[in-house]
Structure 1
């Protein structure tokens, strides 16, 4: 039977795909980060339903599944210093942090993000709404893009579900925020249904900020 334990290189692949937050060609992963999703790794990650791959010309494209998004925000083994892909995963995180997250959160650089102490901490409720906005910024390919709540929820496992739902309801009142149901209900997974929030008489599955 195939060994389905994740190696550090498998984990690095998941982290890079999380950082890109889109469908990525294998040739892009190699060119940008030195990460080559070879056949055995591709088949394993597909078999575990963590990555969705499909043939694209002479290469493959890869995208995290909902299960992959949940796992990648938990403990992953990246401990092996010999795993070349680890450096690529770190590069992916760094580049996407700079290009996508910083520009949407008011910080100008990483030093400011990690060292600024002149800003008073917001109230807990406002802080949770800010965390929601920042998590959305990390996942969205561009402002106004739809992000599934199933991808957002794992960022808030340290918070009571009721508090996160209350923050989402408050956030939904902002003029730049929209929470909508998934039109294609048949495409919903159990993870999607569990992550949904009830607003009015509808379950809402998708969040957009910057609309």
Structure 2
């Protein structure tokens, strides 16, 4: 595959999917990462067999070839006209490549780690055999944890770039589409009492899309559209 087949946006889509190590709704790229994925991007990556796409909501996932191709970005040179942000990204990716090479882990093992405190540092120091188990899939979580509030917190962790980032409730509900809306609403209302959970309305109501309005939860006679959970 020649390098000119992939644009910087294409590469960033693959790298994001690799680092998150889970299928991601397209709204995650738009609202969290800041990547506007056009149909042409999806068609190109599909034609190259680098991603799989499912609908309702549109969700992207890496194929085995996609994992391989995304891994090539670790240690690669920044594309021409990548800009300051792109150049910084490739400095970070080069560091990850050196970390992976030093530890003897595989890239997919590293990104699938369930990060808890110092587990990652100690596991990498001990070698691949000490790596903790990968984070459970959403299906596994749903079958082992009955508390919707826990599922809401875990869904938020999947979507948020870092603790404290605001996530649209419409995106959160997409991840929790197996739960009845009433259970999610009740969990959100209960979580709103926690000091580290913040449910707020969108300050600019004009930018809200119909699905974002519909996903709001009413608390104190006010519709809340966004959630943030700080550590």
Which interval holds the TM-score relative to the shorter structure? Answer: 0.5 to 0.7
Deviation track 1:66-95 (CA, whole Å, cap 9, x = no partner) reads xx993117xx6x66x6x4x24356899765
Q: 1:95 to 1:140 in 2, by over 3 A?
A: farther
Count of aligned residue pairs for this structure pair: 149
Superposition TM-score, scaled by structure 2 size:
0.50
1:204 aligns with 2:224: yes
* Number of the residue aligned with 1:149: 169
Structure 1 segments unaligned to the other structure (5+ residues): 1-10, 26-40, 48-67, 116-120
Q: 1:16 to 1:154 in 2, by over 3 A?
A: farther
Quick one: distance in 1 between partners of 2:211 and 2:34?
A: 20
Report matched runs for 1:7-156 at 5 Å. Answer: 16-17=15-16, 19=20, 21-23=32-34, 44-45=40-41, 70-72=57-59, 83=65, 85-88=66-69, 97-98=112-113, 102-103=115-116, 108=119, 111-112=132-133, 124-125=146-147, 128-156=148-176
Deviation track 1:151-180 (CA, whole Å, cap 9, x = no partner) reads 111111111111111111111111100100
Deviation track 1:37-82 (CA, whole Å, cap 9, x = no partner) reads xxxx9562489xxxxxxxxxxxxxxxxxxxx993117xx6x66x6x
Q: 1:193 to 1:88 in 2, by over 3 A?
A: farther
Report matched runs for 1:170-181 at 5 Å. Answer: 170-181=190-201
Q: Tell me the secondary structure at the aligned position of residue 135 of structure 1.
A: helix
Quick one: distance in 2 between partners of 1:122 and 1:202?
A: 33
For the aligned residue pairs, the C-alpha RMSD in angstroms reads 4.2
The structure having more radius of gyration, on CA atoms, is 2
Q: 1:42 to 1:179 in 2, by over 3 A?
A: closer
Superposition TM-score, scaled by structure 1 size:
0.54
Cα deviation, residue 198, structure 1: 1.0
Task: Please say if residues 178 and 209 of structure 1, whose CA atoms lie closer than 8 Å, have aligned partners that are also in contact.
Answer: yes
Task: Please say if residues 199 and 227 of structure 2, whose CA atoms lie closer than 8 Å, have aligned partners that are also in contact.
Answer: yes
